[in-house]
Amino acid sequence: MLNSDLKLSASIFADDIEKASTRDGVGKGTIEAGKNDPRIVVLCADLAESTRAEWFQKEFPDRFVEMGVAEQNMAAVAAGMANAGKIPFMASYAAFNPGRNYEQIRTTIALNHVSVKICGMHAGVSVGPDGATHQMLEDIGLMRMLPGMTVSVPGDAEEARKAVVAAATTDGPVYIRFGRTATPVFTTSETPFQIGKAITLWESNAPKVAILSTGSLSYSALIAARALSESGIESIVLHAPTVKPLDEKAILDAVQSAGCVVTVEEHQAAGGFGSVIAEFLSQHHPVPMRLLGVMDTFGQSGEPDQLLKHYGLDAIHIEEAARALVSIKV
């Protein structure tokens, strides 16, 4: 059943549930953070409209810097601004930020542990028609490997806003991953959010499988959990908006209760969220697992829903993976 303590959307399973792109959280979140702290500045690489950085620009024009198509330079400038006492948010497509400027992020930002907040937009296959070059599927792996880097993957636009606001007061570098497509807003302003904490969206007294998810696919995991419940298979859906640091206690509690795990992410299965969970559980509580993600291939052009179905990441495939895992466990 839905966790009523989380104060999720009253329309969570309705056909007319509100939808918005998680990238909207950048615009709203940076404005909110900017009002709270005059040290907040925003840098963008010629994509202010797409990244929603222009929302901040309109509110604080003297605290916005347009870097042009120069993501590597943007990272170096952001690091310098952080060293000078500012709190920079730098925004571009994830394919370029951290894709193109990874060395600068590693050396000038992470190695020096400066408080630069890296906003990677249009990540995952749900970017749609832009195709493989712009569908960044390796960014979680790249960023979680950097020492001292916080990595957040919000589930919806409201949670994205909260993640941006929280990042502003988080020590050191932070990477936040955002999508392009409008997805269900299943949380509310009252739903708790804290860096490093996972939340149980769907709970059960006798779960047979735990579905661990991150990003907007957590909503699909909820749809799958409801379908499983209607057929007599109870589950837990644990949404982890922070991949690093990992909420180890919440994950361990869910896994010990359920006995098997399906992980769900819009990213390469290798090196991503599923790998994080597998690394942790292999050392603390090994159980049967199924990792759902993109399997050692690049993206392609198509409509978002078509691509999620093609790569086995929609609610039906999550449900099928859970059923298969439960049957093996039994």
Report the alpha-carbon distance of residue 150 to residue 243 in Å, rounded: 8
Q: How far apart are CA 319 and CA 211, in angstroms?
A: 10
* Phi and psi, residue 91, nearest 5°: -125, 135
Q: If phi over 0 gives left and psi between -120 and 50 gives alpha, with beta otherwise, what is residue 55?
A: alpha
Told to judge if 138 belongs to the known catalytic residues of this protein, a careful annotator would answer no
**What's the start-to-end Cα distance of the chain, in Å?**
22
Cβ burial, residue 61 (10 Å; 0-12/13-18/19+): exposed
Q: How far is CA 296 from CA 1, 12, 128, 241, in A?
A: 34, 33, 18, 24
- Contact status, residue 43 vs residue 77, Cβ threshold 8 Å: yes
DSSP alpha helix (H) spans, 201-310: 217-230, 248-258, 273-284, 304-310
Catalytic residue among 32, 71, 138, 265: 71
Give a three-class secondary structure readout of 295-320: CCCCCCCCCHHHHHHHCCCCHHHHHH
CA 195 to chain centre: 12
Catalytic (active-site) positions: 71
